Amino acid sequence: MLPQEFIRAKRDRRPLPAEAIADFVAGVMDGRVTEGQIAAFAMAVFLNGMSRDEAVGLTVAMRDSGTVLDWSDLGPTVVDKHSTGGVGDNVSLPLAPIIAACGGYVPMISGRGLGHTGGTLDKFEAIPGYDVKPDDETFRRVVKEIGCAIIGQTGSLAPADKTIYGIRDVTATVESVPLITASILSKKLAAGLKGLVLDVKVGSGAFMPNADAARELATSLVEVANGAGMPTIALMTDMDHPLASAAGNAVEVRSAVNLLKDDGSEPRLREITLALAAEMLAIVGLADSAQEGLKKAEEALTSGAALERFGRMVSALGGPANFVDRMDDHLPSAPIIRDLTLSEGSDYRGQLGFDTRELGLAVIELGGGRTRPQDNIDHAVGLTDLVPRDWDGSTPLCRIHARDEATFELAAKRVRAAVRRREGDVPAAIVERISA
Q: In whole angstroms, what is the distance from residue 131 CA to residue 135 CA?
A: 10
Residue of 59, 83, 255, 407 marked catalytic: 83
CB 167 within 8 A of CB 78: no
Q: In whole angstroms, what is the distance from residue 82 CA to residue 189 CA?
A: 12
Helix (H), strand (E) counts: the chain: 17, 12
Q: In whole angstroms, what is the distance from residue 181 CA to residue 56 CA?
A: 9
Residue of 10, 59, 80, 309 marked catalytic: 80
Report DSSP state, residue 154: P
Residue of 84, 110, 120, 173 marked catalytic: 120
Query: Going by DSSP bridges, is the β-strand pair 430-434/232-238 parallel, antiparallel, or unpaired?
Result: antiparallel
Q: In whole angstroms, what is the distance from residue 392 CA to residue 282 CA?
A: 39
Is 183 designated active site?
yes
CA angle 301, 152, 178 (to 5 degrees): 95
Is 123 designated active site?
no
CB 175 within 8 A of CB 213: no
Q: What is the DSSP string of 332-383?
A: ---SEEEEEPPPTT---TT-EEE-HHHHHHHHHHHTSS-SSTT----TT-EE
Q: How far is CA 62 from CA 7, 39, 53, in A?
A: 17, 16, 14
Is 187 designated active site?
yes
Of 433, 436, 434, 431, which Cα lies nearest the Cα of 209?
Answer: 431
Report DSSP state, residue 223: H
Is 82 designated active site?
yes
Residue of 10, 82, 123, 414 marked catalytic: 82
Residue of 188, 241, 296, 422 marked catalytic: 188
Is 390 designated active site?
no
Residue of 123, 187, 270, 296 marked catalytic: 187
CB 380 within 8 A of CB 401: yes
56, containing H or E segment: helix 52-63
Is 413 designated active site?
no
Is 188 designated active site?
yes
Q: In whole angstroms, what is the distance from residue 124 CA to residue 130 CA?
A: 7
Residue of 59, 64, 65, 81 marked catalytic: 81
CA 37 to chain centre: 30
Residue of 183, 219, 220, 356 marked catalytic: 183
Q: In whole angstroms, what is the distance from residue 163 CA to residue 229 CA?
A: 25
> 3-state DSSP call for residue 398?
strand
Provide the annotated active-site residues.
80-83, 120, 168, 183, 187-188
